[in-house]
Amino acid sequence: MRKRGAVITLSLVMGSLTLYGVAFAHGTEKHGKMVPADAQMKKLHAMMPMFSLASAGMETALEKGDMAVLGTEAEKITTAIPDLKKSKPHKNIKQREKYVEHVTNLEKMVIATVSLAKNGDFAEAKVTFKKVEEACAACHAKFRG
């Protein structure tokens, strides 16, 4: 019971930090050499907190073995993937093809996580979910300003 409470608390804290971090990092909506953000970039900024919260929701659902919540949270991510693929990264803009590869990898890992859990293999689903987190981190390291 204690572990469950800790996981929920950690998920809420991470989600809150992400929301505030996005607000602090992008309050002026300007990038690089003070170029106003385009519509797709604004959309990207609106998506990032959702990705973080949905990811935390997936992690909690995996811990609980809750397929309904896992599916709902995963769908939030996969539904937003096409818009993410249309977005321009903050840095390394000329490597956009690689950026789309990172996004595609994220999508595949989310789908694989849900598929494994549906088949009852929650242990492997958790391992695959770690790859979701790694895909996010790798993309942010390379393409986020």
pLDDT in tens, the chain (145 residues): 566 655 555 555 455 544 444 433 444 444 454 455 577 777 777 888 899 999 999 999 999 999 999 999 999 999 999 988 988 888 888 998 999 998 999 999 999 999 999 999 999 999 999 998 888 888 888 888 6
Scanning the structure block, which residue is given the tokens 């608390």?
A: 9
Residue-level pLDDT at 37: 59
- At 111 the pLDDT is 97
Q: What is the DSSP string of 111-128?
A: HHHHHHHHTT-HHHHHHH
